[in-house]
Homo-oligomer: A and B are copies of this chain.
Amino acid sequence: MSSKTVSKALSILDVFTPDRPAWGLRDIARELEISHTIVHRLLKTFEEEGYIFQNPETHKYELGIKFIQLSNTVEERLRISDLINPIMKNISVETGESVVFTVIDNEEGLFVKIVESEHQVRFAESVGKRGPLYIGASHKVILAHLPDEVQDKIINQGFLDHAPQLVSKKSLLETLEFIRQQGWFYTAGETLNDAAAISVPVFDPKKNVLGSISVAGPSYRFTKEQAEKVLPVINKYIDKIDDIFSKVFFPSRRDYLLKNIT
């Protein structure tokens, strides 16, 4: 049994996003349908512990720098700065484009690390951004390598609502099959309007997908032909990356996801 109070408290953290980083007390209460009294107590608790602060001028609440600290502990554990980052930098230098490390977390993809290319406008702020697994090469490549049951679950849950604007379920499943065959995938303008990317899956020792490595650039320049040229560079390093995760436990809700299906 888990703690209801703490669950409620943690649900508060989720309302803070880059798009909406500052919230009024009563706004949070309405959003989560919790009494504002409770939200108030929880916010004050977070504040005491350094996790959330109230802007004295606007009276709104915001996440605190404590998360920068904790995030670092996670990144160190994942060996991002010392092992993954150097490889990503190599790929970036050799291809001249930006490199993105994406990870699966609870039916969504999460950008965990981005190495920007030297000669390029930086991407819209994206580390820490979450999104559904059926949009963008970095995410589709992950979805393609998940077990069928998980794919079904994910597609049936969120995908069908957005289907009209996108493609049919059948066509998506065909794409996923194609990705599995090919081992990589290229998309343009899916995650960001004017960006294109080529992605390759990353596996753990048990051959389960855990994320993907992408090389991305502006659509006008980074065409499919261009993208295919960088493929050998990615492939040169992909085994090393897989190798890192044969030694590092991966702290995401992936196992959770896999377990709840089988």
Contact = CB atoms under 8 A, between A and B. Distances in A.
Given A67-B67, A73-B16, A6 B53 contact: no
A50 interface: yes
A115 to B, nearest CB: 12
Given A71-B67, A128-B70, A6 B9 contact: yes
B251 A41 contact: no
Please list the 3 inter-chain residue pairs (A to B) with the smallest Cβ-Cβ separation, ordered nearest first: A72-B128, A71-B71, A2-B45
State how many copies of this chain the complex holds. Answer: 2
Interface stretch (A56-64, A141-149, A154-162): A56-64
A253 interface: yes
Contacts of A82: 122, 125
B63 A67 contact: no
B67 A253 contact: no
Contact of A10 (B22, B49, B103): B49
Interface string A238-262: 0000000000010111011000000
A251 B50 CA distance: 9
A81 interface: yes
Interface of A: 1-3, 5-7, 9-11, 13, 16-18, 21-22, 41-42, 44-53, 55-58, 62-78, 81-82, 103, 105-106, 110, 112, 122, 125, 127-130, 249, 251-253, 255-256
Contacts of A110: 65, 68-69
Nearest to A5: B5
Contact of A74 (B58, B68, B255): B68
A76 to B, nearest CB: 5
Contact of A48 (B2, B50, B70): B2
A78 B125 CA distance: 13
Contacts of A56: 249, 255
Given A5-B6, A7-B48, A127 B13 contact: no
A3 B41 contact: yes
